[in-house]
């Protein structure tokens, strides 16, 4: 788990990809903490070490076998009410599997906003009706589904979506899919979403 406390009344709950809490999550949490907010990244996979990107299949199996989307979402939902006693605002930011988990928490009254980066499994849960503002980021294309069709479905339900150049993982500087321009644009939208509304 990553915990960075700034004695803020705002908490950013960061949900990691299938790889676990890796260098990208550490760097991203530190970057967010510069906004003078508290940041927590729980270990959803309950794995003491993170997986290397070359172990994608093993990381996916571990996540699905030991955690899964439903359990992870329930874990986050259960923590939200206790956290809300300490914070005026709680935002959830997820990446890939973590973005899907964040999306699955959008009907919770304790979340003040959700941001999801390339949550490809959101396509399995499009029937949810968010109780808070949601902003979702997608790459130009995904190998397993049609990005434009998912965006069209989400936009019918008034979900804010953005499509960026690059592939799944475009915002991760440690990934071979990193796209610097898209990462900067997405992060700028995150800051605007969290602090400039």
Q: What is the dihedral of CA 43, 45, 47, 48, to 10 degrees?
A: -10
Instruction: Kindly tell me the burial class for residue 5, based on how many C-beta atoms sit within 10 Å of its own C-beta (0-12, 13-18, 19 or more).
Output: exposed
Domain boundaries, position 17: 2-195
**Number of structural domains the chain divides into:** 1
Tracing tokens 């009344």 back to the chain, one arrives at 9
CATH code: domain of residue 27: 3.40.50.1820
User: 91 by DSSP, 3-state: which?
Assistant: strand
pTM of the model: 0.95
| Measured distance CA(100)–CA(104) in Å, rounded | 6
The pLDDT tens digits for 23-77 are 999 999 999 999 999 999 999 977 778 999 999 999 999 999 988 999 999 999 9
The pLDDT tens digits for 70-127 are 999 999 999 998 899 999 999 999 999 999 999 999 998 899 999 999 999 999 999 9
Two tokens, residue 141: 């294309």
- Which residues make beta-bridge pairs with 12? 39, 91
Tracing tokens 């995150």 back to the chain, one arrives at 190
Contact 154, 161 (CB under 8 A): yes
């Amino acid at each position: 788990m990553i915990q960075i406390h700034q004695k803020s009344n705002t908490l950013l709950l960061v949900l990691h990809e299938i790889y676990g809490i890796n260098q990208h999550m550490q760097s991203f949490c530190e970057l967010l903490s510069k906004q003078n907010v508290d940041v927590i990244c729980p270990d959803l996979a309950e794995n003491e070490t993170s997986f290397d990107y070359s172990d994608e299949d093993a990381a996916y199996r571990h996540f699905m076998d030991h955690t899964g989307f439903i359990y992870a979402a329930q874990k986050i939902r259960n923590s939200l009410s206790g956290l809300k006693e300490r914070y005026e605002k709680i935002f959830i930011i997820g990446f890939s599997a973590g973005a899907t988990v964040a999306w699955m928490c959008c009907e919770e009254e304790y979340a003040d906003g959700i941001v999801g980066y390339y949550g490809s499994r959101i396509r399995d849960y499009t029937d949810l009706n968010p109780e808070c503002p949601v902003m979702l980021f997608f790459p130009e294309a995904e190998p397993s589904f049609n990005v434009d069709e998912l965006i069209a479905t989400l936009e019918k339900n008034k979900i804010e979506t953005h499509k960026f150049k690059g592939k799944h993982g475009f915002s991760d500087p440690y990934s071979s899919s990193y796209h610097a321009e898209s990462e900067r644009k997405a992060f700028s939208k995150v800051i605007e979403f969290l602090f400039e509304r």
